[in-house]
Amino acid sequence: MRHPRTDLAIDLLEGFAERTGLASDAESDASTDGAGRRYLWTDAFAVCTLLGLWRSTGDGDHRELALTLIDRVHHVLGRHRPDDARTGWISGLADEDGEAHPTAGGLRIGKPLPERATHDRFDERLEWDRDGQYFHYLTKWMHALAQTRRATGQPLFDSWARDLALAAHRAFVYAPRDVAPKRMYWKMSIDLSRPLVASMGHHDPLDGLVTCIELDATARPAPPTLERAAADYAAMLVPSALATSDPLGLGGLLADAALLRQLAAEGVATPDGLLEALLAAAARGLRSYLEQPDLRAPASRRLAFRELGLATGIAALPVVARDASGLGREARADLDRLERFVPVQAQIESFWSRPEHRDTEIWREHQDINDVMLAAALVPEGFLVLQPRAAAP
């Protein structure tokens, strides 16, 4: 008999699949409504959660839906928008080559509005709704592809993830001056030819470094090809400056900590002191976040997907704590502090699992991402726990 949490996660993902055209033959990219709409962050979490459901229930339909979703993302977000004068793969590859390498030019975010044209004035509020490419969304998709590679044993998914990693490194990383440390753009144009937001995301170097380590580990025993990219991200990373009170960012820190722990358990070399820095940053940031009134506000004033990202991250703590003997004294103390906040995970999940709290305008406005992030929080193993390695078919 399945747990009610699993049943709710399945219901949420089935509704998401129906609304976004995943359960049909549609591949069109609607801007705001209708079948075929895709959004990279949401789809990455959906793929991982579907794989987690497949592993826990044995229902092959979840596996097939995850594979269908990957194909749809590549054929929608790997190609130009229907309202764009440009057509075909955003990489510029011809149709046959694009089919073989759908991530070679990155993947669009999937925002409702076209990207800002070169002659348009920058509008910070409007930019949130404009298309383009986000680095931290690309790394989430790389993780989803790596999980799929592990789960299916098919090296094609690893190849696509590495194509995407190389494209992202080439486009987002730059040297301001010959003698200055490299930096990263936060948002790039659809074709990766120009920055749309030049500032650097707080955790983008961290996302890049951890993802490169994951992809090289996933591809073993193939020789690693992401060492140069990983070195660039490591050089930009300031471990003492990772703390944040943003719930989605906190969830990311904890998920990265769990990933590093699992990779180390597989014998993968991970950067000295990085895990400890993640735990310290998360402990400081989570304490600061919980001092704010966010979780005490009514449902009509809360962005659920951000809180649910935190809940998923807190679910990573048991993975981090499986063998704390290898941690130093300060890291163990930080882990102890973090484990005191485990009830927050249940608090967030319980709140958003209640139908009346999802019956608000703000939930419906973000329903796709809210539903998927709630499903991910209810069945976090799909995103957080490395899939067992399947034999190649």
DSSP string covering 215-248, please?
Answer: HHHHTTTSPP--HHHHHHHHHH--GGG-----HH
Q: CA end-to-end span of the chain, whole Å?
A: 31
**Per-residue pLDDT for 270 more than 50?**
yes
C-alpha span between 88 and 86 (Å, rounded):
7
Q: Is 132 left (phi over 0), alpha (psi -120 to 50) or beta?
A: left
Q: With a cut of 90, say whether residue 338 has pLDDT above it.
A: yes
Residue 32: band (very low, low, confident or very high) from pLDDT cuts 50, 70, 90: very low
pLDDT band at residue 223, thresholds of 50, 70 and 90? Answer: confident
Query: Of 309, 325, 166, 334, whose CA–CA distance to 250 is shortest?
Result: 309
pLDDT tens per residue across span 141-187: 999 999 999 999 999 999 999 999 999 999 999 998 877 789 999 99
**76 domain-assigned:** no
Residue 94, pLDDT > 90, answer yes
- 261 is a domain residue: yes
Number of domains in the chain: 1
| C-beta of residue 247 within 8 angstroms of C-beta of residue 309 | yes
Q: Residue 372 pLDDT > 80, yes or no? A: yes
Residue 190 forms part of a structural domain: no
Residue 330 lies in a domain: yes
pLDDT the model gives residue 219: 85
Inside any domain, residue 335: yes
- Average pLDDT of 225-235? 95
Asked if pLDDT for residue 224 goes beyond 80, the answer is: no
Q: The domain containing residue 297 runs over which residues?
A: 244-367
Which of 85-89, 119-123, 175-179, 358-362 is predicted least confidently?
175-179
Determine the pLDDT at residue 33.
Answer: 43
- pLDDT above 50 for 376: yes
- What's the mean per-residue pLDDT of the chain? 93
* For the chain, the helix, strand and coil percentages under 3-state DSSP, each to the nearest 5: 60, 5, 35
Residue 248 lies in a domain: yes
What's the confidence (pLDDT) of residue 100? 98
Mean pLDDT lowest for which of 69-83, 134-148, 160-174, 323-337? 323-337
Is 31 a member of any domain?
A: no
Q: SS3 of 272, please?
A: coil
What pLDDT score was predicted for residue 175?
A: 92
Report the distance separating Cα 72 and Cα 109, nearest Å: 14
The pLDDT of residue 36 is above 80: no
Bridge partners of residue 347, in order along the sequence: none
Model confidence at 24, in pLDDT bands (50, 70, 90)? Answer: confident
Q: How confident is the model at residue 1 (pLDDT cuts 50, 70, 90)?
A: low
- Please tell me the predicted confidence (pLDDT) of residue 177: 80
Residue 120 lies in a domain: no
Q: Which of 247, 343, 253, 255 is nearest to 304 (CA)?
A: 247
Least confident of 35-39, 197-201, 269-273, 378-382: 35-39
Whether residue 34 is predicted with pLDDT greater than 80 in this model: the reply is no
Q: What is the mean pLDDT of residues 50-63?
A: 96
